[in-house]
């Protein structure tokens, strides 16, 4: 019996535990704390954080417990990540809850969404320079897209081994948008620019809203077919929303479907960060590059907005450029915040939503381009 006790003890976490598991568990608890106490993207940080706890319970192999053992429950649920199924489902829901009116009212703001994606490709170059493989470099670059599902989707296709670090980096920085962006925004814009008011957007007809997802989908996917899985679902969800008659489907898409996908995506991505595979030099590099890419993306957006002002007669508030990184809706809220610091009566949120959502489309296209160029 002693043997049995000892044998069992040898299989407990207390015995198998490794300092890296402890580190990851602490990181997980920090994620949960930031989500709950600081309200940073709670819907993502809490599941990922708890997933980190799940993934870092020291387990003995052979029983089929670990996410990397192919008959484990976690492995089956993780399949939705590695096969790239969850992200399009999340996009379906996002489409079903996104209102593109502001974009339709001032299409020119859409270009800001393109500008911010420049960060993706600069980061890609940076990653290459740090010695990452091209496919890894692409996956790292997409962090600058500030769009979790897109990042996870592309990484699953190009560098599955990096899903954990890249997803964690992407979501951490998205959560930290309120911390990262403001200083850059203040640095690159003058008070006078931050005070610019945007004129009320025109009224958008229901017809326009219905036709938009169709046009957007056809145009973007003809140009970058590899953006199909993400943009297809995004536009599909949006059509379901705008076409009143399919409201019940849109309702399920933006509730049951997206919530289920979010829960499983977050939890399994978190669980994939097992200390031994996560705490590597690579991850450090990824985090550094991730921060870099967020800053660059923000800067590009701001600068491009200032350049546009040279040509536009009705100037736009350059702060909107920062919303181009997507990270919906946080970066738009940051724009609102920074704008109001200068003039509490200046209401930018609604306008910031335009580059914000076009940033989502932009990074999906960028992901498509990188994917197709890497194969």
Interface residues toward other proteins, by CB under 8 A: 1, 4-5, 8, 39, 103-104, 107-108, 110-111, 113-114, 117-118, 120-122, 124-125, 128-131, 134, 137, 204-205, 207-208, 211-212, 215-216, 219-220, 223-224, 241, 244-245, 247-248, 250-251, 254, 329, 333, 336-337, 340, 347, 349-350, 358, 361-362, 365-366, 369-370, 373
Q: CA 61 to CA 315: how far, in whole Å? A: 62
User: 28, 47, 145, 368: which one contacts Na ion (CB under 5 A)?
Assistant: 145
Q: CA 199 to CA 205: how far, in whole Å? A: 18
Nearest by Cα to 148 from 283, 41, 31, 284: 41
User: 359, 361, 365, 370: which one contacts Na ion (CB under 5 A)?
Assistant: 359
Residue 371 touches which member of other proteins, Na ion, a second copy, none, C-beta under 5-8 Å by kind: a second copy
Residue 164 touches which member of Na ion, a second copy, other proteins, none, C-beta under 5-8 Å by kind: none
Residue 82 touches which member of Na ion, a second copy, other proteins, none, C-beta under 5-8 Å by kind: none
Residue 282 touches which member of other proteins, a second copy, Na ion, none, C-beta under 5-8 Å by kind: none
Nearest by Cα to 181 from 123, 136, 119: 119
Of 97 and 303, nearer to a second copy (C-beta) is 97
User: Is 333 within 8 Å of 175 (Cβ atoms)?
Assistant: no
CB of 41 to a second copy, least distance (A): 10
User: Is 167 within 8 Å of 155 (Cβ atoms)?
Assistant: yes
Phi, psi dihedrals of residue 7, rounded to the nearest 5°: -55, -50
Q: CA 142 to CA 161: how far, in whole Å? A: 15
Residue 326 touches which member of other proteins, Na ion, a second copy, none, C-beta under 5-8 Å by kind: Na ion
Residue 57 touches which member of Na ion, other proteins, a second copy, none, C-beta under 5-8 Å by kind: a second copy
Quick one: which segment of 39-47, 63-71, 140-148, 185-193 binds Na ion (CB under 5 A)? 140-148
- Token code pair at residue 104: 């339709």
- Token code pair at residue 54: 């799940």
| 27, 295, 315 from 120: Cα distances, Å | 26, 11, 27
Nearest by Cα to 220 from 352, 57, 19, 364: 364
Q: Is 355 in the site for Na ion (CB under 5 A)?
A: no
């Amino acid at each position: 019996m002693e043997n049995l006790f000892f044998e069992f003890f040898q299989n407990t976490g207390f015995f198998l535990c490794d300092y890296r598991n402890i580190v990851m568990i602490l990181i997980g608890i920090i994620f949960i704390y930031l989500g709950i106490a600081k309200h940073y993207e709670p819907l993502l940080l809490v599941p990922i954080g708890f997933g980190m706890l799940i993934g870092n319970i020291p387990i003995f192999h052979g029983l089929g417990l670990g996410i990397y053992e192919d008959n484990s429950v976690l492995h089956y649920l993780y399949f939705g990540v590695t096969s790239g199924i969850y992200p399009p489902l999340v996009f379906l829901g996002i489409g079903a809850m996104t209102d593109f009116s502001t974009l339709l009212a001032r299409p020119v703001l859409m270009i800001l969404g393109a500008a911010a994606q420049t960060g993706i490709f600069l980061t890609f170059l940076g990653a290459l320079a740090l010695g990452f493989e091209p496919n890894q470099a692409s996956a790292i670059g997409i962090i600058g897209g500030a769009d979790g599902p897109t990042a996870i989707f592309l990484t699953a296709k190009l560098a599955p081994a990096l899903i954990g670090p890249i997803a964690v980096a992407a979501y951490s920085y998205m959560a930290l948008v309120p911390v990262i962006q403001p200083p850059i925004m203040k640095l690159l814009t003058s008070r006078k620019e931050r005070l610019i008011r945007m004129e009320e957007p025109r009224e958008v007809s229901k017809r326009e809203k219905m036709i938009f997802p169709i046009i957007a989908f056809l145009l973007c996917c003809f140009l970058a077919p590899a953006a199909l899985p993400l943009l297809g679902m995004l536009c599909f969800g949006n059509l379901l929303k705008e076409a009143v008659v399919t409201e019940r489907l849109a309702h399920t898409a933006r509730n049951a479907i997206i919530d289920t996908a979010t829960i499983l995506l977050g939890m399994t991505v978190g669980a994939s960060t097992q200390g031994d595979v996560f705490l590597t030099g690579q991850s450090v590099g990824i985090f550094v590059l991730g921060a870099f890419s967020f800053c660059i993306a923000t800067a590009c957006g701001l600068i491009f907005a200032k350049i546009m002002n040279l040509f536009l007669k009705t100037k736009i508030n350059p702060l909107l450029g920062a919303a181009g990184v997507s990270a919906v809706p946080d970066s738009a809220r940051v724009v609102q915040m920074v704008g109001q610091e200068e003039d509490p009566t200046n209401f930018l949120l609604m306008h910031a939503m335009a580059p914000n959502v076009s940033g989502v489309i932009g990074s999906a296209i960028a992901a498509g381009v990188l994917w197709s160029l890497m194969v």
